[in-house]
Structure formats: structure tokens, C-alpha cells
Amino acid sequence: MYAAVDLGSNSFRLSIGQHDGDRIRVLNSMREPIRLAAGLDAAGNLTEEALQRALLCLKNFRVALAAYSFDGVRVVATAILRQARNAADFLPQLEQAIGYPIEIISGEEEGRLIYMGVANALGQPNESRLVVDIGGGSTELILGRGLDIERVESFSVGSVKQSLSFFVNGRVDARSFEAAVLSARSHFEDGAPPYHPEYWKRAYGSSGTIRAIGEIIEKNKLGEGITLAGLNAVRKRFIEFGQVSKIDMPGLRPDRASTVIGGLAILIAVVQELGIERMEPIDAGLRMGVMWDLYLRSTRRDRRDESVRAFLARFHIEADRGSRVADAAAILFAQMKPNSDTLPRHLAWSAQLHEVGLVVSQTGYHKHAAYMVENADLPGFTTREQKLMGRLILAQKGNLRKVSEQLSDSDFAKAVVALRLAILFMHCRIEVDDRALRLRMKNRIDLELKRDCVSNHPTLSYWMEKEQEFWDEVGVDFSVRTVA
């Protein structure tokens, strides 16, 4: 059983599902209109009032989650927490309220998860398709075939901001609507060509906003599905009401009118700019994609592994060296008995990627690699994960003062020890196994090496002395002794 929590710019949503054959069946869902995007002040900070609404919602979600036993739970935050200047200050409180870590995902990662949800719901392995998702703070365009994503892009235009910016005080007129549409088109016009109809067979709308607009068209008999004619008919009716608070139409809940109107302007812009003749709404998207991602991870089909392989291939980095370091680091890390099992996979990925900086320069390649890994588009990874791996990769060689603050985390320090020694042993051509050496770390580092290991590798003594000096600089005693 899996749970996906989506902290969106307009609403927070929870879905609980179970894998059943070739689909994930939703067992329970919750939605609360938190409207975080409307809670941004003039400086781009979330207000205390918005925080309190979010905390109350997440506490309710925590109660709902406690009633189940899960194979995986993932909480993702999208555009508004990417944009809010004080998001990092709020994050610990939000995590404490729901009881799980919160991942602020990039717009591209959001798009990939959306597509994963849609593609698995549709099946049809050979269908080329465009998926459009209009959220409260951003809009994603995803091009793919079957389960494979070919292109994804996130645009910083969402229904909440569009509603607040162009329908001031809830007033709706033709001029405001045209301005809202033109503004939205300006976001898409440069990136539109790769998403034109020549590259796909069918277009799908995955967001709640698009599904709501499709329902309005159907229930009010305003057209044959989501077409430009149908969208313009909805626009005409909204203008006739004149005020958001007066909009009353079958298929539209009164509490959603204030955001759907901005979403309608964006959808008209997308349809016009991309030349879409018809779009089909589909009840699948981000939360379904998150649950599929959790399921694939549980079955050892983690797309983060594929991201690492693709990244190495892109820069023509020898994968065997990274794999050797990863295997050695895993043995060393396990010997130090870490307090939790949260770091082994990130240590392995860091080891595999530790030499990618060589494409920039031999000098300081660890610094280049750290920057690349922290800032690259790595499908499946969160910003927090990439920052963690960047810190590990930065610490792979040289002085440790650059990560001295992170070394207070004992498991992180053990991972650094494991990575540094694994790389050192690779350079000295020493095979790492439980028979050749023993490694312990509590308040100090204790390394035992077989005597013949030292005698057979003349440079090892030199490198061990340097390593002891580096750890001494950050106040950690590193003892090395040889045994028969």
C-alpha cells in the first residue's frame, strides 16, 4: 500500500492506493483548499496565517495516514514552496506536522511524475501523447510515447497567480480575460514548437483545473469536449457573470471558481499557442505518479539508478571505476554500523558519480562534480537528495573544513570516511573486503589493515598520513594500525 501527498499551490491532496495487477487502485483520498499561493506577501514570503492553515491540514493528513500500514509514503511540494523565499524556515514545522520528510521537487520532476501517473493509467504502450497539467503555481508540458518521456518543461504560470493578477477584486470582463490569455501565451510561445501536434497523436489534461473545465463544458452543453470553441464558450459565460463570486454553473463548485478562471485563461493560451484541436481530461497525474514511483522503487526498478547511468553516459565517464568505489564504500560504511539505513543508496550514487567533474577539469574535479550533481536535472532525485550527494562528492578528497558543519551528523561523517577510503584504495589498487581491513567509527576513526596490504602497496602509508592530517584538522582522531 502506498500514499502520496501533494502540497500544491492551491490545494493539499492525499491519495492512498494499492497495487492491483497492472494498476494502482485508489482506496482513499482527501483534499483541502489551503491556497498557499494566495498567502504570499509582497516580498514573496508565506504568511503566518498560510502556515497555520497548512499545519492544520497536515495534522489531519497524519491522522488519516496512521490508520494504514504502508510500503511507502512520499510527500512532495510543488511550485509555491519552490518559489516562497521563506520555505526553508517553514519546512521543519510542516514535516513535524505530517510526520514524514517533505521533498520540494523541481518543475521538471513534477512533470515526469505527472506523466508517469497518466501513462500507467492509460496503458497504450505505443501511443505518442502530450500531457498538460495546469497547477496553482506552474504549468507542465510533457511529451512522451507509452511509458517513456521524451521531453518535459515547466512554465512558471499557474491558475492562482493568473486569477489574482488579472481578475482583481473578482471582476471579470473581456479586457481582463484577453490580458490574462495574452500574458499566459507569452510564457509558452518560445517553448511551444517541440510540443506542436506533429509530435504527438493525442493530448490529455491531467490537472483538476482542466478536468473541472471539461465538466463545465459537458454539463452546460457548451461544446463537444475541450476544444478552443468550448473554452471560448466558457469564457463568454464567465464574462456574462461579471464577478467571480457570482459564477454559478453546473460542474463548478463555488469554492473553485476563483482559481478555475485563471486556469481557463492559461488553457486557452496553451490550446492557441500549441494548436491543439482537442484535449481529453484524465483523472490521473502527480499523486498517481508518485505512487507508481514508490511501487517501482519497492520492486527495485528505481528510475534514480537509470538517471545516474544516463548522467555518466552523457559525459562519457567510465562507469566501472565508480562501481568499484561504490562497492568498496558499501563494505566500509556497513563496518561502521550506521544508525539508520537512509544513506547507503545515496552513498552508492555519489560514489558512481564522483568523477563526473573530470569533464570540466582535472584540477579540482571534486568541486566541479559536486556542483554538477547538485544542479543537474536528475530524474527521480529531489533537490535535497542532490544537495546531500553534492556534499558527499565535495568531501571525497582534500580538506574536510568545507563540510565541517555536516560532519556533526555521525552517519554523514561515516559516509564521508567510507567514500574517501574507497577512492583511496581504488587508486592504490587495493581490493576492499572484510578480510583485508576493519573500520570502526564512534568518537574516533579506527582502521586496521593487514600488514602485507601495506607492504605490497608502497604509497598507502603516505596517503594514510595525509588522511590522518585532514581529519585532525576537523578535530577527529584517525588511528591506523597494521595486523598480521
CA angle 378, 382, 384 (to 5 degrees): 120
Strands across the sheet containing 445-450: 437-441, 445-450, 478-483
How many structural domains comprise the chain? 3
One domain, residues 100 and 112: no
Going by C-alpha positions, the residue among 28, 472, 59 that lies closest to residue 291 is 28
What's the CATH code of the domain at 372?
Answer: 1.10.3210.10
Per-residue DSSP letter, 29: E
One domain, residues 280 and 316: no
> Per the domain annotation, does 472 fall within a domain?
no
Going by C-alpha positions, the residue among 11, 62, 58 that lies closest to residue 37 is 11
pTM over 0.75: yes
pLDDT of residue 459: 85
pLDDT of residue 476: 95
**Greatest alpha-carbon span in the chain:** 90
User: Which of 57, 84, 104 is the C-terminal boundary of a domain?
Assistant: 104
User: Which of 60, 82, 104 is the C-terminal boundary of a domain?
Assistant: 104
> Per the domain annotation, does 478 fall within a domain?
no
pLDDT of residue 253: 86
Residue 357 burial class via C-beta count within 10 angstroms: exposed 0-12, middle 13-18, buried 19 and up: buried
What's the CATH code of the domain at 48?
Answer: 3.30.420.40
Q: What b/e readout covers 83-120, taking b as 16+ CB neighbours within 10 angstroms?
A: bbeebeebbeebeebbebebbbbbbbbbbbbbbbbbbb
One domain, residues 367 and 387: yes
One domain, residues 353 and 256: no
| AA identity, residue 353 | L
What's the CATH code of the domain at 145?
Answer: 3.30.420.150
pLDDT of residue 448: 92
One domain, residues 129 and 271: yes
> Per the domain annotation, does 408 fall within a domain?
yes
Distance CA(262)–CA(242), nearest Å, equals 14
One domain, residues 116 and 262: yes
> Per the domain annotation, does 77 fall within a domain?
yes
One domain, residues 308 and 389: yes
One domain, residues 243 and 274: yes
Strands across the sheet containing 12-20: 23-32, 12-20, 2-7, 72-77, 102-104
One domain, residues 99 and 131: no
Going by C-alpha positions, the residue among 212, 205, 339, 220 that lies closest to residue 271 is 205
Show pLDDT as tens, one digit a residue, over the chain (484 residues). Answer: 999 999 998 899 999 999 988 899 999 999 998 888 777 888 888 898 989 999 999 999 999 999 999 999 999 999 888 888 898 888 999 999 999 999 999 889 999 999 999 999 998 889 999 999 999 889 999 999 999 999 999 999 999 989 999 999 999 999 999 999 999 999 999 999 999 999 999 999 998 999 999 999 999 999 989 999 999 999 999 999 999 999 999 999 888 898 999 999 999 999 999 999 999 999 999 999 999 999 998 887 888 999 999 999 999 998 999 999 999 999 999 999 999 888 999 999 999 999 999 999 999 999 999 999 999 989 889 888 999 999 999 999 999 999 999 999 999 999 999 999 999 999 888 888 887 789 999 999 999 988 887 778 888 888 999 999 999 999 999 999 888 7
Asked if 206 and 242 count as a contact pair (C-beta separation under 8 A), the reply is no
Please compute Rg for the chain using Cα positions: 26
**What residues pair up with 18 in beta bridges, in sequence order?**
25
Per-residue DSSP letter, 302: -
Q: What are the Cα distances from residue 168, in Å, to 164, 385, 450?
A: 6, 40, 75
> Per the domain annotation, does 358 fall within a domain?
yes
Residue 249 burial class via C-beta count within 10 angstroms: exposed 0-12, middle 13-18, buried 19 and up: middle
One domain, residues 135 and 217: yes
Distance CA(166)–CA(243), nearest Å, equals 12
The SS3 of residue 32 is strand
One domain, residues 151 and 32: no
Sequence-ordered strand ranges (E) for 234-371: 280-281
Distance CA(244)–CA(177), nearest Å, equals 12
Neighbouring residues of 355: CB distance < 8 A, sequence distance ≥ 6: 317, 318, 321, 322, 365, 369
> Per the domain annotation, does 279 fall within a domain?
yes
pLDDT of residue 32: 92
The SS3 of residue 227 is coil
Task: Work out the number of other CB atoms within 10 angstroms of the CB of residue 4.
Answer: 28
Q: Which three cell numbers stand for residue 273?
A: 499557442
> Per the domain annotation, does 344 fall within a domain?
yes
Q: Which three cell numbers stand for residue 422?
A: 574507497
> Per the domain annotation, does 461 fall within a domain?
no
User: Which of 395, 419, 435 is the C-terminal boundary of a domain?
Assistant: 435
The SS3 of residue 21 is coil
Distance CA(59)–CA(15), nearest Å, equals 15
One domain, residues 189 and 307: no
Q: What b/e readout covers 442-456, taking b as 16+ CB neighbours within 10 angstroms?
A: eeebebebbeebeee
Distance CA(182)–CA(226), nearest Å, equals 19
Question: Structural domain of residue 364, as residue ranges?
Answer: 302-435
Instruction: Using the structure block, give the residue that is written with the C-alpha cell 512533470.
Output: 111
DSSP 121-173: HH--TT-EEEEEEE-SS-EEEEEEETTEEEEEEEES--HHHHHHHHSGGGB--
